[in-house]
Chain A
Amino acid sequence: MEKSKVKAAIYTYVAQELLHGNAGDLREDTPLLDLGVIDSMSIQKVIVFFESTFHVKIPDQEVRPENFSSIEKMASFIMSLNANA
Chain B
Amino acid sequence: MDFSWSDEEQQLYERTLAFFSHLKVVTDKPLVSRTSDVWRAMGEFGVLGVAVDASHGGLGLTPLQTVHMTEAIGLGINNFGLAFAALAHAFACVEPIAKFCTPEIRETWLPRLLSGDAVGANAITEAEAGSDAFALHTEAVRDGSDYVISGVKSYVSNGPASDILLVYASTNKNAGLLGVSAFVIPTNMKGVTLGKPFDGMGLDCAPIGPVYFDACRIPGSSLLGHEGSGAQIFRHSMQWERTGLFGAYVGLAQRMLERSIVYAKERIQGDVAIGKHQAISHRIANMQTRIESARCLLYRAAWSITHEDRNRSEMLVSSAKLHVSEMAVSTAMDAIAIHGGMGCMRDVGIECALRDSIPSTIFSGTSDIQRNAIAAHLGL
Q: Which residues of A contact B (CB under 8 A)?
A: 31, 33-34, 36, 38-45, 47-49, 51-52, 57, 60-61, 63-65, 68-69
**Mind listing 17 A-B residue pairs with CB under 8 Å?**
A33-B175, A33-B177, A33-B178, A33-B179, A34-B174, A36-B176, A38-B177, A39-B132, A39-B177, A40-B177, A41-B132, A44-B314, A47-B311, A48-B311, A48-B379, A51-B311, A65-B175
Q: Per DSSP, are chain B's interface residues mostly helix, strand or loop, or mixed?
A: helix
For A64, list chain B residues within 8 Å (CB). 178, 228
> Is the beta-carbon distance between B174 and A31 smaller than 8 angstroms?
yes
Among A52, A61, A64, chain B packs the most CB atoms within 10 A around the CB of A64
> Is the beta-carbon distance between B135 and A40 smaller than 8 angstroms?
yes
For B189, list chain A residues within 8 Å (CB). none
B176's partner among A34, A52, A57 (CB-CB below 8 A) is A34
For A51, list chain B residues within 8 Å (CB). 311
For A31, list chain B residues within 8 Å (CB). 174
Q: Is B307 an interface residue (CB 8 A)?
A: no
* Number of B interface residues in the complex (CB < 8 A): 25
A63's partner among B178, B314, B373 (CB-CB below 8 A) is B178
Q: Who on chain A is nearest to B365 by CB?
A: A40
> Is the beta-carbon distance between A40 and B134 smaller than 8 angstroms?
yes
Q: Who on chain B is nearest to A49 by CB?
A: B379
> Is the beta-carbon distance between B175 and A69 smaller than 8 angstroms?
yes
Within B132-189, which residues are at the interface with A (CB < 8 Å)?
A: 132-135, 172, 174-179
Among B172, B178, B179, chain A packs the most CB atoms within 10 A around the CB of B178
Given A51-B311, A61-B232, also A41-B178 (CB < 8 A): no
A33's partner among B133, B176, B379 (CB-CB below 8 A) is B176
Given A33-B178, A39-B135, A39-B177, also A65-B172 (CB < 8 A): yes
In the complex, the 3 A-B pairs of residues with the closest C-beta atoms, listed nearest first: A65-B175, A33-B176, A65-B178
Within B315-366, which residues are at the interface with A (CB < 8 Å)?
A: none
> Is the beta-carbon distance between B232 and A60 smaller than 8 angstroms?
yes
B177's partner among A43, A52, A61 (CB-CB below 8 A) is A43
Q: Is B231 an interface residue (CB 8 A)?
A: yes
Q: Who on chain A is nearest to B173 by CB?
A: A34
> Is the beta-carbon distance between A38 and B176 smaller than 8 angstroms?
yes
Q: Is B372 an interface residue (CB 8 A)?
A: yes
A61's partner among B229, B310, B379 (CB-CB below 8 A) is B229
Task: Give the complex CA separation of A68 and B373 in angstroms.
Answer: 19
> Is the beta-carbon distance between B231 and A63 smaller than 8 angstroms?
yes
